[in-house]
Amino acid sequence: MKFSRYCRDRWISVLIFLFVFMAGGGLLWLINTPFAVACVVEGFYAAGFLLILVQDYLSRKEFYDKLIEASDQLEEISYLSEFLTKPSFQEGEMLYQILRRDEKYMNDQIAAYQRELQEYKGYVEMWVHEIKTPIAVSRLIMENNRNDITRILSEEMDKLEGFVEQMMFYSKSSSLQDDYKIRAVSLKNLVMKAVKRHARFMIAEHVTPEFGNLDYTVLTDPKWMDFVLGQIISNGGKYRSRERKPKIVFSAVQEGTTVTLSISDNGIGIPAEDMGRVFRKGFTGENGRKYVKSTGMGLYLCDILCRKLGTGLSVSSVEGEGTVFSLKLALASEENSRTS
């Protein structure tokens, strides 16, 4: 808050002061007041006016500077008044009270919204668990009645399970800190489990898995990382090349205290113009529109989960040659490996 702007906003008060100042000087001259006395009287009057002006400016400046500073620093603007001292001037008190009332209303609205969101998430999670029962029963019926029709239905059921799984992980992604446990796990076992879980899909898509050195123990949450690996495997199968036998290669290298797991395929690759957007929510890109129907949620969820797990996730690709996803995981110490 600048003093020049403060005075400019009070130009009427300044004009009144100048008028009274000059009128008082004229009156003192008319009654033949000695010049020295007139100067002292006028000086006291001017000094009093300036002191009132400066005092009022400083009190307002302190309040508004704190208000601006708090609003710039706070992430939750709804708690702004908690960091302010109630001002001594009337306009500041009115603004302070308005802020308090608005913040109370805003916090009440946020609390109501959070309750509704929590109820919705609870319903989604319950629905996901409930839908697993008819899916399991349907699978059992298809296993007991194997033919070409049930084989096709089984492939569609795999897709349905994938969408249900995405919904479950998406509903939990915002509160991941309450539902994960980092521990030492075998990277090889983690990869093999993901491949086994998607074996039917890989066989249907004629995708061959290949394995490099995976003999590392890493720190991660196996359930959430299994989902990430599954999404990458699914992408490798969906966007396979029709010109060569599709394959997905899993390999890892140690780099200091981290292990980088590379998952590469020889599929159609990602267009260069889409590379910077593959992890965006709902982004399907040219491949998603041209080759297969895509929700654009799989890689978005992978990115969210990896960020919250402290796992680096990156992708590189050459269109027409293939894609490589890299996961940078923390290497477990020997002590962690023994206690896992």
Task: Tell me the pLDDT tens digit for each residue of 164-212.
Answer: 877 777 776 665 555 678 889 999 999 999 999 888 888 888 899 999 9
Q: Mean per-residue pLDDT for 125-152?
A: 81
Tell me the range of 51-65, 211-225, 265-279 where mean pLDDT is highest: 211-225
The 3-state DSSP class for residue 280 equals coil
**Whole-number pLDDT of residue 177:** 56
Tell me the CATH number of domain 180-339, given options 3.20.20.100, 3.40.50.300, 3.40.50.150, 3.30.565.10.
3.30.565.10
CA 306 to chain centroid, in Å, comes to 12
Residue 263's pLDDT band (cuts 50, 70, 90): very high
CA distance 93 to 213: 69
pTM of the model: 0.60
**Whole-number pLDDT of residue 338:** 42
Residue 71's pLDDT band (cuts 50, 70, 90): low
Residue 335's pLDDT band (cuts 50, 70, 90): very low
Range name among 20-24, 69-73, 280-284, 313-317 with the lowest pLDDT average: 69-73
Domain boundaries, the chain: 3-107, 180-339
**Whole-number pLDDT of residue 340:** 43
% residues pLDDT > 90 (the chain): 21
Residue 260 pLDDT greater than 60, yes or no? yes
Residue 130's pLDDT band (cuts 50, 70, 90): confident
**Whole-number pLDDT of residue 203:** 87
Query: Can you spell out the DSSP letters for 305-339?
Result: HHHHHT-EEEEEEETTTEEEEEEEEEEPPHHHHHH
If we measure between CA atoms, which residue out of 38, 42, 39 comes closest to residue 20?
Answer: 42
Instruction: Report the chain's terminal Cα–Cα distance, integer Å.
Output: 60
**Whole-number pLDDT of residue 108:** 80
